[in-house]
Amino acid sequence: MTQQLIKIRDLKREGDMQAILDIEYRCFPDPYPLSLLNRLREMHPDGFLVAELDGEVVGYIIGVIRWGASGHILAIAVDPPYRRRGIGSALIVNMLDRLKAKGAKGVRLEVRKSNFAARQFYLGLGFNEREEIPYYYEDGEAAVVMTYGYH
């Protein structure tokens, strides 16, 4: 089996936003609508990264600086057939580097309490579980706030 090269790049190309939207709908029960994705891109044009494999967008991450020096990962997803290939890790590491370069002292994200696989994934990358936010998601599920501090 040949090793495929994962390319992480800025969201720039025609069709990138549609690819993100498609992945969003395949991955989440409450996907971000295109209007919100477009608004986030207008507000944070350098906050979107996509992962490409053989020229196809197979994942994305949205990260921004908020509240002065705090990074916030708003969304990350990898198309289900491409999971467990290091794509999510590559996206997180690239975004952590980008946010640090922009002055972030730490990074936070929220994850569904029931999403044990994602929580383990983030713990493995150096995030810590901090607190729960009840009724965070549209269906009433709580979120676990996870934080990453730069070393």
Is the pLDDT assigned to residue 150 strictly greater than 90? Answer: no
Instruction: List the CATH code of the domain at 6-149.
Output: 3.40.630.30
Task: List the domain boundaries for the chain.
Answer: 6-149
Q: Which residues pair with 60 in a beta bridge?
A: 50, 77
Cα–Cα distance between 42 and 150 in angstroms, integer?
A: 28
The candidate with the shortest Cα–Cα distance to 16, out of 82, 62, 65, is 62
If we measure between CA atoms, which residue out of 76, 42, 38, 71 comes closest to residue 60? 76
65-90 per-position pLDDT tens digit: 987 789 999 999 999 999 888 999 99
Look over the chain and give the mean of its residue pLDDT values, rounded to a whole number. 91
Indicate if the pLDDT at residue 2 is higher than 70. no
Asked if residue 8 lies in contact with residue 50, where contact means CB atoms within 8 angstroms, the answer is yes
C-alpha span between 143 and 136 (Å, rounded): 6
Mean pLDDT, range 116-120, rounded to an integer: 94
Instruction: Establish how many alpha carbons lie within 13 A of residue 147's alpha carbon, considering only the half-sphere containing its beta carbon.
Output: 10
The structure's pTM equals: 0.90
**Which of the two residues, 139 and 67, has the higher pLDDT score?**
139
Reported confidence tier of residue 3, pLDDT bands at 50, 70, 90: low
Average pLDDT in the 126-138 region? Answer: 94
> pLDDT tens digits for 97-114?
999 999 999 999 999 999
- Highest mean predicted confidence (pLDDT) among 11-15, 31-35, 124-128: 124-128
- Output the pLDDT for position 151: 67
